[in-house]
């Protein structure tokens, strides 16, 4: 099974025959940089790379990655997602492109799909809240407010109104974080920059989820730039934002709750500087390991009658969306049923 590799150190990635060679840059005791021990990676075992440090590579390397269907996702020093190298689209379909465009341009078709994404996200948020409510956290009032907002979704007539309602649902949901998490406080959502530990984890985790959704979309005939809830814009894969709404409560938030309540992540794993809070290198490694474990977890799929991983669930979501766009089957967002 192919693996995802996370490159935390800056370094050089290059082709070495039919393998990849990564040489990290390390600092000695005097703060001087020098090449570290090279690591050789069999190309047939690699699904994708996440580069959190500066990466030196040449066009020959990217040609090789493209030939082997290996993506690279890039993050800057402040943990912001900056872009991806994606292999050439081998599944391009004119029919799908026309269907996606038609559903975006038709206001009725677009609002139907946009509602589906918000309905799925709200349902999964409520599942999280109810899970912790049954475990002694007093979340009854927050659950009731989100339920009232959710009842209004079917009456929305345009995307702007829907986005406003979605914002109210998510803000209310975030109010519950301080009740679920034991030793940290959220104190409202802040991003660009995140002001505290919980916000730093949400921002970092959401970008990880966004990248996973982008990769899943790329493995289907869908075009990642044509979206329905979020407005398509220049230089962004907005369909990934749509799909990630459904999976952020399942993948990101559950990992955050687990890591903080089990004290796997503590104050020492964060850096505070210039009114900004970020995970330090050790904190990133802990979060990424837990996130990867979550992606490889399996559930018994009701329709397929077999176990599938959370990572594969994202791809299945893209297939369902494709069938809706082609008029084959109504799209129903994934909702946690356990």
Within a 10 A sphere around the Cβ of 247, how many other Cβ atoms? Answer: 26
Report the pLDDT averaged over residues 246-264: 97
pLDDT, position 250: 97
pTM of the model as a whole? 0.90
**Position 144 confidence tier, pLDDT thresholds 50, 70, 90:** very high
Mean pLDDT score of the chain: 91
pLDDT, position 99: 95
Q: What is the pLDDT of residues 29-81, one digit of tens each?
A: 666 777 889 999 999 999 999 999 889 999 989 999 999 999 999 998 878 88
Task: Name the residue among 136, 126, 127, 119 with its Cα closest to residue 172.
Answer: 126
- Quick one: pLDDT at residue 184? 86
Q: State mean pLDDT over 86-106.
A: 85
The CATH superfamily label for domain 3-85 reads: CRISPR-associated endonuclease Cas1, N-terminal domain (3.100.10.20)
Q: Are 125 and 170 in contact (CB under 8 A)?
A: yes
> In this structure, are residues 170 and 212 in contact, taking their beta carbons and an 8 Å threshold?
no
Mean pLDDT, rounded, for 193-206: 92
Contacts by 165-169, CB closer than 8 A, 24 or more apart: 165/118, 166/118, 166/121, 166/122, 166/229, 166/245, 169/118, 169/121, 169/122, 169/125
Q: What is the pLDDT of residue 91?
A: 66
Q: What pLDDT was estimated at residue 274? A: 75
pLDDT band at 87 (very low <50, low <70, confident <90, very high): confident
Question: What's the rounded mean pLDDT across residues 13-31?
Answer: 83
The answer on pLDDT for 235 being more than 60 is: no
pLDDT of amino acid 1:
76
From residue 322, give the alpha-carbon distance in Å to each of 18, 113, 219, 226. Answer: 35, 12, 12, 12
Assign residue 210 a region (left: φ > 0; alpha: ψ between -120 and 50; beta: otherwise).
Answer: alpha
pLDDT in tens, 122-132: 999 999 999 99
In the chain, helix, strand, coil percent, each to 5? 50, 15, 35
Could you check whether 3-85 and 107-325 share the same CATH topology? no
Is the pLDDT score of 141 beyond 90?
A: yes
Domain range annotation of the chain? 3-85, 107-325
107-325: CATH, from 1.20.120.920, 3.30.1240.10, 3.30.420.40, 3.40.50.1100:
1.20.120.920
CB neighbourhood size of 43 (10 A): 17
Number of H helices, E strands in the chain: 11, 13
Tell me what percent of the residues of the chain surpass a pLDDT of 90: 71
Residue 237 has pLDDT above 60, yes or no: yes
pLDDT at 247: 97
Confidence label for 298 from pLDDT (cuts 50, 70 and 90):
very high
């Amino acid at each position: 099974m192919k693996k995802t590799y996370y490159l935390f150190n800056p370094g050089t990635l290059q082709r070495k025959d039919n393998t990849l060679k990564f040489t990290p840059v390390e600092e000695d005791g005097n703060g001087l940089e020098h090449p570290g021990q090279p690591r050789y990676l069999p190309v047939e075992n690699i699904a994708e790379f996440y580069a959190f440090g500066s990466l030196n590579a040449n066009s020959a390397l990217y040609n090789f990655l493209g030939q082997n269907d290996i993506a690279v996702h890039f993050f800057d020093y402040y943990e912001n997602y900056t872009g991806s190298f994606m292999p050439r689209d081998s599944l391009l379909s004119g029919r799908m492109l026309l269907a996606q465009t038609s559903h975006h341009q038709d206001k009725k078709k677009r609002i139907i799909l946009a509602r589906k994404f918000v309905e799925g996200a709200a349902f999964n948020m409520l599942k999280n809240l109810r899970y912790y409510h049954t475990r002694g956290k007093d979340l009854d009032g927050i659950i009731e407010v989100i339920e009232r907002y959710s009842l209004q979704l079917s009456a929305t007539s345009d995307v702007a109104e829907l986005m406003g309602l979605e914002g109210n649902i998510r803000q209310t949901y975030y109010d519950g974080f301080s009740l679920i998490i034991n030793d940290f406080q959220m104190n409202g959502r802040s991003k660009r920059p995140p002001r505290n530990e919980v916000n730093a984890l949400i921002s970092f985790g959401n970008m990880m989820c966004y990248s996973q959704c982008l990769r899943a979309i790329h493995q289907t005939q869908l075009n990642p730039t044509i979206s329905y809830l979020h407005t398509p814009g220049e230089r962004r894969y907005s369909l990934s934002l749509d799909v990630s709404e459904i999976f952020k409560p399942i993948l990101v938030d559950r990992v955050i709750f687990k890591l903080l309540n089990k004290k796997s992540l503590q104050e020492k794993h964060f850096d505070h500087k210039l009114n900004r809070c970020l995970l330090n290198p050790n904190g990133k490694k802990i979060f990424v390991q837990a996130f990867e474990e979550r992606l490889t977890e399996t559930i018994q799929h009701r329709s397929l009658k077999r176990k599938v991983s959370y990572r594969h669930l994202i791809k299945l979501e893209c297939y369902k969306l494709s069938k809706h766009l082609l008029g084959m089957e109504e799209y129903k967002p994934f909702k946690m049923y356990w």
